[in-house]
Amino acid sequence: MRKPLAAAALGLAALTTDPALADEAPKLVTILTSPDAQTQLMGMVLTMQSMQQGAEAYMLLCGPAGDLALRDAPAAATAPQKPKGMSPQGLMQNIMAAGGTVEVCAIYLPNKGVEASALLDGVGAAQPPHVATRLLADKTRIMSF
């Protein structure tokens, strides 16, 4: 009698599980605000590691961390750090090259007093409704540094 119940349960599970959702990559939203270069780099390291394990990555840079996205970034953003000799900005660019999306907060540019042309190629300015959609999406993990 147990076998028919188990088979029925498996059949019901098959009907209620969307195969497309089973293959969907987990999503990662990394929110980086810290001015500390080591903290910034660790956020980048964990984002890259998550991408290498199949996650779709989105990074939002706010406040002092927004400076990582500048063409003329502060020295701390570009200085190599131990143990791998990578800088926060360098690893951020690797994340973008690997398919990750990087944006600065919507209020970063006007409060910094610069235009979007001050940003590295490939970095955009976030739109709050789109960020909210990312934050609320299924299978999303949020990291904040």
- The two tokens of residue 36 are 């500390």
Please, what are the averages of pLDDT over each run of 10 residues along the chain (145 residues)?
43 44 83 98 98 98 98 97 96 98 98 97 98 96 98
pLDDT at 24: 83
CA pair distance 9, 23, nearest whole angstrom: 22
113: left (phi over 0), alpha (psi -120 to 50) or beta: left
CA pair distance 49, 56, nearest whole angstrom: 11
Q: What is the pTM of this model?
A: 0.83
pLDDT at 142: 98
pLDDT at 31: 98
* 8 A C-beta contact, residue 31 and residue 144: yes
Q: Within 10 A of 142 (CB to CB), how many other CB atoms are there?
A: 13
Which domains can be identified in the chain, with CATH numbers? 24-144 (3.40.1260.10)
Measured over the CA atoms of residue 19, residue 100, residue 28 and residue 60, the dihedral's sign is negative
